[in-house]
Structure 1
């Protein structure tokens, strides 16, 4: 991501976090619970038949570690889990809730220290809707593609339409998602 877009993402999240009602994302909220359950069912379907303990997994934009916790519960080996989080406070929380074997970097994903072809699975959950620059989206997608091993997969979960109550995000239509990874075979989970 460009330095300017990285700074803008940080500013948008700081503004949103200061105003946000954390309960809206808690699993005690019926909408949040239903969305989480739907996402879990899709992940289980997509990963069916894979030896989860053998996968090297990276989440870009890992937040406070919730998605990585979900994968650990499904059987992913903590020693093979990595997260990248732009916001240091969220990376701190992820380190606090995840096993010590999980490696969490607080950095811009374009500056992350990861070797090419090192990941079997890369998660991008509500990342691209937070990056409003198409150029920064393309740069991040190219970086993620380089991190994937042959036969690896990207799990992309994001908004496809704009949220009229949140000007800090922009929906990413299916065709835009697919255009970020032009050499990939793209499939919808649902």
Structure 2
């Protein structure tokens, strides 16, 4: 990506990070979102061949390392995990909380020195919705696909719809995911009660998250498993 594109993405994340409390796991809507997503992720991982001790997993936009910590708890080995992070402060947070064996790299993920066909899983959680230009999206998707082993999968979790009150993100419809990974075999499910609604109902009572989330139309994110066929190049 160009320097200007990277600077714009950094600015979007900086504005989001300024509202620190909004993303705290101590908030009832946040931990319920996390629990729902983590349960769906575990279901998908349970269907993967082999086992977590042997999987090589890379996360694009690893932030402070929370998802990589979850993978360690599921049995992945530190030396088999890689995190890529654009923002230096987030990279430093990940370095502070993750074991030394986890490989952490800063800078532009699309140019990261990752060997082709070296990863069993490549994760991206709410990264592409912050990349508003199609060119950088395509370059990053191509890199992710190149890193993936045949038989592996991209694990995608991101916004489906736009938030009219947040111009820093743009929803990524399933058709766009297919266009970014045209050789992939996709399996998708809708998750996550719309965050503004989740915050509102949980102020009344945390149990209302489950009640409203039972309506699929109120879910704003999609978890997609994008399989790379064994015969794929």
TM superposition score normalised by structure 1: 0.95
Among 42, 45, 53, which residue is 1:44 paired with? 42
Q: Which runs of 5+ in 2 are unaligned?
A: 191-233
Equivalent-residue separation in structure 1 for 2:35 and 2:177 (angstroms): 23
1:76 matched to which residue of 2? 76
Equivalent-residue separation in structure 2 for 1:86 and 1:80 (angstroms): 20
Post-superposition shift, 1:135?
1.2
1:30 matched to which residue of 2? 28
1:166 matched to which residue of 2? 166
1:154 matched to which residue of 2? 154
CA contact (8 A) 1:61 1:85 kept: yes
Could you list the per-position Cα deviations for residues 89-132 of structure 1 after superposition, in whole angstroms to 9, with x for gaps in the alignment?
10000011111100110111122111111110000000100100
Over aligned residues, Cα RMSD in angstroms?
A: 1.2
- In the alignment of these two chains, the number of paired residues is 188
Q: Which runs of 5+ in 1 are unaligned?
A: none
Equivalent-residue separation in structure 2 for 1:181 and 1:89 (angstroms): 30
Could you list the per-position Cα deviations for residues 147-179 of structure 1 after superposition, in whole angstroms to 9, with x for gaps in the alignment?
001111010000101122321111111111121
TM superposition score normalised by structure 2: 0.78
Q: 158-167 or 87-96, which moves further after superposition?
A: 158-167
Post-superposition shift, 1:49?
4.1
Equivalent-residue separation in structure 2 for 1:64 and 1:189 (angstroms): 26
Runs of 4+ in 1 over 2 A off after TM superposition: 1-4, 14-18
Equivalent-residue separation in structure 2 for 1:153 and 1:49 (angstroms): 12
Equivalent-residue separation in structure 2 for 1:5 and 1:39 (angstroms): 29
Post-superposition shift, 1:17?
2.5
1:72 partner SS: helix
